[in-house]
Amino acid sequence: MTPLPDANLLVRSARLRLPWSPRRGAAAGTAVLVDGTPFEAVERQRAGSGEAWTLRPWPEDEAMRVVVTLDEAWVAGLERERADDRAARRRWWLLPVVPLLGLAPASLQSSWELRWGFPATTATLLSALAELALSTLGVVHTLAAALGGGGAASGPLAWLGLASPLLLVESIVRLKHVSAAHEPIGSVVGLPLSLLATTGQPAASVAAPEVRCLDREADTLELRSGIHRADWSAQGVLWYRDQPYRLASVGREGRDWIYLFSRADATIDGPALRLLPPADRPLPVARERPPSLVRSTIATALACLAPRDLQEAWAGRIAVRPVLLTVLGAGVECCGALVNLHSGAADGSPVALAVNLMVLVEGAVRFALLIGSGRPAGSLLGVVLRRPLARLLAANPSSPTPNP
């Protein structure tokens, strides 16, 4: 701010665009209060990468319509408003790639959620649904090719036909995890994204935010938090020193989050906001390390072929119906055998032909037993798989461990 002749002022802004209006004909410009003295915004000029405003003393015969107090608090509020606008624009730009980022490892998603409010749980859910749809398409394509449709080896979905059974199992595991734990979980497909993670990042402590400013005259409360408080909503009420406050704006300052609350009426109603993170759903820094996705996927694939008791035990651990494991296992057996028989891969060897026929018959018998009894049916390979799968189940104390 620089004094000019005739008691005018020159206000320069190198970073922010000031939301003032200059005088237009008979319409007065924005009224700007500087240390209690009113000035009128007369002219705006470019000044390098910023702008410069010329202010003159307010004419006594003019009525003030738009009044702005030029002080540090107003500039800080304008910076927070601009930061919120930039964050909203970033969210719109990131929306198309959220499902893709949901494939990243859980630790990386939690880091993004902590640093800039990335919707990790929603991203995992969207990516798992997309993975489920794509893998189902691959299974259907492969089955259609086995029954006389287009060749699976020459079609554009040939690669998907080979990986679709595992992707289907993985998508179901991820969907059950995110619905039960409400926290992100990565995918095998997203393992290359782990190269983006940096090692040695210290975890921020989950503690109450720091009170940066309590202005009783302006009825505002400003809090600084080292973590993103996704549990604070604009509809909630924060009680501080027996006074209710509503969330007015959110901004960033370096790596910290700045939350501005405004004083509310004592009769206001809404969910209570806590200074500490909620105990039933801790913030990302307080989460335990999620289970290994690769291990869960492999165990689920093995459980699809395991005997009935192991299928029921594993289904209880991942919270799915046991018959689903039989459907997946028997479906893969029938689909794989039909593809081999239709493509002629088993014609050159009587042993290969017999193995494929046995696998096809076993899959059909498992489907028949499932329909007849309503309970899961295991595979002959389940006898071999019983011991390793029992060890996988024993890793979770809450899961029933069958006798090997």
**Residue 147: inside a domain:** no
Both 331 and 380 in one domain: the answer is yes
In a shared domain, residues 307 and 259:
no
Query: In tens digits, what is the pLDDT along the chain, a chain of 404 residues?
Result: 777 877 888 888 877 788 888 888 777 888 888 888 888 888 888 876 678 888 888 887 777 877 888 887 787 777 777 766 666 565 555 667 778 888 888 888 877 776 666 778 888 888 888 888 888 877 777 766 666 555 444 455 555 666 777 788 888 888 888 877 777 888 888 877 766 555 444 444 456 788 888 888 888 999 988 777 877 877 888 888 878 898 888 887 766 788 999 998 877 878 888 887 655 444 444 444 445 556 667 777 777 888 888 888 877 777 677 888 888 888 778 877 777 777 665 566 777 778 778 888 888 888 888 888 888 888 887 777 777 767 765 554 433 334 43
The number of folded domains in the chain is: 3
- What pLDDT does 359 receive? 82
- Of the candidates 207, 275, 265, 212, the one whose C-alpha atom is nearest the C-alpha of residue 238 is 275
Regarding whether 363 and 269 lie in a shared domain, the answer is no
C-alpha 367/C-alpha 370 separation (Å) is 5
Q: Do 22 and 51 form a contact (C-beta atoms < 8 A)? A: no
- Both 343 and 369 in one domain: the answer is yes
Residue 352: is it exposed, middle or buried by C-beta count within 10 angstroms (0-12/13-18/19+)? middle
Would you say residue 75 lies in a domain? Answer: no
**At 207, is the secondary structure helix, strand, or coil?**
coil
pLDDT value at residue 222: 92
DSSP three-state, residue 257: strand
Q: Are residues 319 and 399 in the same domain?
A: yes
303 by Cβ neighbours in 10 Å (0-12 / 13-18 / 19+) ranks as buried
Closest CA to 105 of 226, 199, 200, 188: 188
Pairing of strands 256-263, 220-225: antiparallel
Do both 235 and 254 map to the same domain? Answer: yes
Place of tokens 């595991």: 173
The number of beta carbons lying within 10 Å of the beta carbon of residue 178 is: 22
Q: How far is CA 62 from CA 30, 57, 325, 397, 401, in A?
A: 11, 11, 79, 78, 84
Q: Is residue 184 part of a domain?
A: no
Instruction: Identify whether 251 is part of a domain.
Output: yes
pLDDT tens track for 69-122: 888 778 777 777 776 666 656 555 566 777 888 888 888 887 777 666 677 888
C-alpha distances in angstroms, 342 versus 148, 149, 163, 168? 7, 10, 19, 23
Residue 28 resides in a domain: yes
Strands (DSSP E) contained in 58-145 are 67-69
pLDDT at 96: 73
Q: Which of 163, 189, 170 is nearest to 336 (CA)?
A: 163
Q: Are both 384 and 323 inside the same structural domain?
A: yes
> Where is the domain boundary, 281, 305, 336?
281
Q: Is residue 52 in a domain?
A: yes
Task: Tell me whether residue 227 is in a domain.
Answer: yes
- Residue 353 domain-assigned (yes or no): yes
Of 30, 52, 70, which one is at a domain's C-terminal end? Answer: 70
3-state SS assignment for residue 144: helix
Considering 12, 35, 70, which residue would you say is the last residue of a domain?
70
Whether residue 301 sits in one domain with residue 254 = no
Expressed as residue numbers, the domain containing 237 is: 213-281
Q: What is the pLDDT of residue 226?
A: 78
Are 332 and 224 in the same domain?
no
pLDDT score for 129: 87
Across 59-102, where does the E strand assignment appear?
67-69
Same domain, yes or no, for 298 and 269? Answer: no
Buried b (16+ CB within 10 A) or exposed e, 42-60: bebeeeeeebbbbbbebee
- pLDDT at residue 93, rounded to an integer: 58
How far, in Å, CA of 322 to CA of 306, rounded?
11
Containing 222, the helix (H) or strand (E) segment is strand 220-225
Sign of CA dihedral 114, 115, 121, 122: positive
**DSSP one-letter code for 27:** B
Q: Rounded to an integer, what distance in angstroms lies between the CA atom of residue 191 and that of residue 311? A: 28
**b/e for 61-97, b at 16 or more Cβ within 10 A?**
eeeeeeebebeeeeebebbbeebeeeeeeeeeebeee
In this structure, the answer to whether residues 272 and 321 fall within a common structural domain is: no
Residue pair 15/61 in contact (Cβ under 8 Å)? The answer is: no
- Do 308 and 386 lie in a common domain? yes
